[in-house]
Structures are given as C-alpha cells and as structure tokens.
Structure 1
Amino acid sequence: MAKTPKVAVLLAGCGHLDGAEVREAVLALLALDQHGASFQCIAPNADQYHVVDHATGRPVAGARRNILEEASRIARAGQCLDLASARAGDYDALVMPGGYGVAKNHCTFAIKGAEAEVRPDVAAFIRGFFDAGKPVGAICIAPALVALALSGRGSAELTLGNDAGCDEAMRILGHHPKDTPNAREIVIDETHKLVTTPAYMFDDAKLSDVWIGIERCVTEVLKRC
C-alpha cells in the first residue's frame, strides 16, 4: 500500500439482534487500525426496522431507535457519518460488519429472503465501490446484502458459513455460495474484489476465531486497495 487507505465502514445500528453485531464491528475497526488504515463509520439516518430487548431477545412494542444514533455508540459520539453525506468516491474500500440490522435495516433479507429489497441509498453506496473496482469486505450476514445489491450485475462467490437457507437464497439471486467450516475462513472473489467471512453466522463461534476471520478479511481487502 503506497498510501494510507481510507475505508468506509457501513454500520446497521448497535446490537446483533436489531443493528450491527458489536463484536464484529469493533474487531473490524481494530483490524483496520492495526494495518494502518484510516476509517469512517457510516450509517443511514433513519429508523430501525424494530427494536429488540437484548436481555430477552424479544421485540419491544412501540419502541423506535435511529440507525445513525445507534451506530454512533460504536463509532463514538459525533464520529459516524450520515450515509446521505457519504460518497463511494471518497474511499478506497468498503467493510461491512454483520448483525441482524444488516438484514432488517439495510435490506429486508431477514423477512423476504431472496425476494428482499435494499434501501436505495445503501444499494447505491455499495454499488459505487463495485462500479469503481474498489475492494469490499463483507462479514457475517453482510454478504447477503452484497448479493442483493449486485443482483443483475453478475455472479459473485461469497460465504455465509454453511447455512442451507441462505445458500439457497444466494443461488436464486444468481450467486455462488461457498460453505466454510468455521469462523476463521474467508472466501475471495477476485473478479469483484469481494472478500467475505462468516463470523457469527456460526452462533457458537469463539471470539478468537471470529477475530481471525475478520482480520484475514480486512488484510485481503487492504491488499487490493
């Protein structure tokens, strides 16, 4: 890397049941920092799909939370950029942690599977990186968001661990899911400069294994900047 790469980190809130998976997000930021990259956390300024009580795992009736405000809990106050002000051209790469918020707030994959829609602003931002030939790293469920955003733009190789339902949805969308045995693994699609890792698609994954997979993913993304 001849220069310090600037990486956009797209967050989906805060909390794995209704936002960004906090461990995945922090580990991704740590990996970027350790490799000397600069980063900017980004999130849409919009309401979450719903709010989940993480102590019980149940939705909270009538509750509302803002994706940008919640993502700022991870980014630190005032350090998360409104997606409306973000441009793919300002960054060298994109990294997306997972969490159910990716599949509920950025798109409707958690509800509609292969028939899901993507928020137009999120789709446009993601496509901007692929259109410019810039590398993208997608963690956990985030490869499904990529698959939806790339629908009709060619087939990508990616991993969502070994979830049969997700794999079938990827095939319906015209992509090529690759099963991986654990959270340490990555899949690289050189044609699209897409690097994916399953992380907590394995519910029982050890934190240390999630870290290894994310660090490997970030390393390969930065190599392609």
Structure 2
Amino acid sequence: MTKRVAVILAGCGVYDGAEIYETTLTLLRLDQLGIEYHCFAPDIEQHHVVNHLNQEVVEGETRNVLQESARLARGDISPLAELASENFDAVIVPGGFGVAKSLSDFASAGANMQVLEALKEALTGFRQEAKPIGLMCIAAVLVPRLFEDGIAVTVGNDPAVSGAISSMGGLHRSAGVEEIVVDFEHRVVTTPAYMLATRISEAATGIFKLVDRINEMME
C-alpha cells in the first residue's frame, strides 16, 4: 500500500506564511520516495501581510491562509478542518513565520503562546495513533503546546527560541543545519532548516534527512 503524508502549510512566504523552499523541498523529497502527499491549511485570515521586498507590514491588507497556501500546492489543497489522521501515515509541518503568526501566536506571545485549535485537533490524532510527525524550522516550537512535556526537538541553536521551548516543558537539543533530532519514543522528527540555513542546499540536506526518517518510521 502506498504511504500517504499530510503536509500542513501556513500561507506562502517566509515572513508571513509557510517558508517556500522548505515546503518545496519537502514535497520534492516525498515525491522522489514515491510517497503520496496532500496539503492542508487553515481557512482563516493571516495575522498580517508582509511585503517580502522590504519586510514591512502592509497596513490595511488581508489575505487568507488557505488561499495563499494554495499557491504552493498548485491548488491541490484542503482546509485543515478536513484533515483526518486515519487517512494518512504521517504528517509534516514546514516552517516560516506563518507558523508563529497564524498557526500560533508565538511571534507575539513567546512562551505564553497558544496554538490554533484546528491545528491541535489535527495533530493530536497523529500523536494518539503513534504516527510520525515531522516539523522543521520554527514549527518545532509548537511541540510543547501540542503534546506532552519532555519531547526532544531542535530549532538549531537559537537561545531565545530554545529557551522558550524549555520553559514550556519541551526538551531542546542543539543541532547543525544539516542534522535532525529524532525523539523515537514520541515519534517526532525535527530539523533547523532556515533557522540556520544560509543556502537552499544546506536546508535541503536536513529536510531530506527528516523526510527520509519519516519514511523509515512509517514502515
């Protein structure tokens, strides 16, 4: 039977949505391994819109997370509310500031953050069914709020973010850009990606390793 992976997106663009390279590299590696995938995103308004040319917030403009994510998925995407864990063998969440602004409020609340309820409901099913969960870049910060305490994750070596993870009950492990951290007990895999990457090739190495490990864990 063909393996199936759900990929959860948070918009389109590093500063206010899903990180485009991280998403594309994830989908590329899944396809190279012959794994079917389907993308999901919440049908909500973005926290705000950022001009990616100058990184400034665009006042008075709104965009929808699902519609923006559809750009990355070439239109083949469904609302997050329709994601049922029993239909997939694993789930992966790429990074990007949309994770910290729309899927959660980590960008403004830090360790006091709350996670979007629809995301929590979707990922809780994968956790309860012991299906592999992959998160990259800033998405690793979600783990302590989504699941139980003491799950090992990495965002690389950022002291502020790793400190927030620890204060929320998580267990942060420092890692290089091309490395992954695997919590075998809880079946969670993370990699720093663009928390550290300076080139797309650097991000690719860690992301490919993450997808490869998720693949192995689905056996």
Which one of 169, 172, 189 corresponds to residue 167 of structure 2?
172
Q: Secondary structure at the match of 1:9?
A: strand
Q: Which amino acid in 2 is paired with 1:178?
A: R
Gaps of 5+ in 1: none
- Deviations 1:57-101, CA, capped at 9 Å, x for gaps: 000001100000000000002x11111211111110001100000
Retained in 2: the 8 A contact 1:126–1:146? no
Residue 105 of structure 2 is aligned to residue 108 of structure 1: yes
Length, aligned pairs only: 218
Distance 2:146 2:110 in 1: 13
- Kindly report which structure 2 residues correspond to 1:1-225, keeping only aligned pairs within 5 A, or say none: 3-77=1-75, 79-150=76-147, 153-181=148-176, 183-202=177-196, 204-225=197-218
Distance 1:120 1:40 in 2: 20
| Residue 175 (structure 1) shift | 1.3
- Aligned CA-pair RMSD: 0.9
Q: Runs in 1 of length 4+ with deviation above 3 angstroms?
A: none
| Residue 107 (structure 1) shift | 0.3
Q: Percent identity?
A: 39
- Deviations 1:84-125, CA, capped at 9 Å, x for gaps: 211111110001100000010000111111100011111111
- Deviations 1:150-183, CA, capped at 9 Å, x for gaps: 1xx23100101100001111111111101113x1
Distance 1:155 1:126 in 2: 17
Retained in 1: the 8 A contact 2:81–2:122? no
| Residue 205 (structure 1) shift | 2.1
Distance 2:198 2:6 in 1: 26
* TM-score normalised according to structure 2 size: 0.97
